[in-house]
């Protein structure tokens, strides 16, 4: 067994970025497929984004990547969802909780993404997840500030 297979309860992953835009545009980018397919590795989203509703993240080939429920919906300030990875069999079935806090800071928005889970996961998924959020949210910032998302070539976590 390599170090990457060791099971651990991961600390919260927190990623903060500052974007020159409005809270409403960040909310729309996170919840509308026209935006997500540009910055979220080609994925679309499906939900009415009301508290208690289901939501899905869908891969370009139509398969469900992630599914969950909306825990908090307070547009355009806060969105909290459960997050269960569906696309591979040995993914943890206990949901992670993803929270987006969208705060106005002058002519900027401070976006804070927090990933919380109580489930033990292989260490290698943790490292992949950290890099994934940085890429997704860097690309979101580029999209909102320049009109163009980033093209990042990245392999899966090893």
Partner 1 sequence: MSQAQSRFVYVSYIRATPERLWAALTQPEFTKQYWSGVSPISTWEKGADWQLVLESGRVADTGSILESDPPRRLVIQWLCHMREDFTAEGYSRCTIELEPMGDAVELTIAHENDHPNSPFIYEGVGTGWPAIISSLKSLLETGEVLTMQ
Q: Does 97 bind partner 1 (CB under 8 A)?
A: no
**Which residues have a Cβ under 8 Å from the Cβ of 18 and sit 6 or more positions away?**
105, 108, 109, 110, 111
CB of 148 to partner 1, least distance (A): 8
Q: Are 59 and 42 in contact (CB under 8 A)?
A: yes
Tell me the per-residue interface mask from 104 to 133 with partner 1, x by CB under 8 A, - otherwise. Answer: -xxxx---------------------xx--
Nearest-angstrom CA–CA distance, 60 and 34: 13
Q: Does 154 bind partner 1 (CB under 8 A)?
A: yes
Q: Which stretch binds partner 1 (CB under 8 A): 56-64, 66-74, 86-94, 145-153?
A: 145-153
For residue 136, CA distances in Å to 7, 29, 150 come to 25, 12, 9
Instruction: Specify the residue, 20 or 24, whose C-beta has the smaller distance to partner 1.
Output: 20
């Amino acid at each position: 067994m390599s170090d990457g297979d060791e099971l651990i309860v991961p600390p919260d992953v927190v990623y903060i970025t500052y974007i020159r835009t409005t809270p409403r545009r960040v909310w729309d980018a996170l919840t509308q497929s026209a935006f997500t397919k540009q910055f979220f590795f080609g994925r679309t989203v499906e939900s009415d984004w009301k508290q208690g509703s289901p939501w899905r993240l869908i891969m370009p080939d139509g398969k469900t990547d992630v599914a969950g429920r909306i825990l908090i919906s307070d547009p355009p300030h806060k969105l909290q969802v459960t997050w269960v990875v569906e696309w591979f069999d040995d993914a943890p079935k206990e949901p992670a909780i993803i929270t987006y806090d969208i705060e106005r800071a002058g002519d900027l928005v401070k976006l804070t993404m927090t990933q919380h889970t109580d489930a033990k996961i292989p260490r290698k998924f943790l490292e992949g997840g950290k890099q994934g959020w940085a890429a997704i949210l860097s690309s979101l910032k580029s999209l909102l500030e320049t009109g163009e998302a980033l093209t990042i070539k990245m392999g899966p976590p090893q």
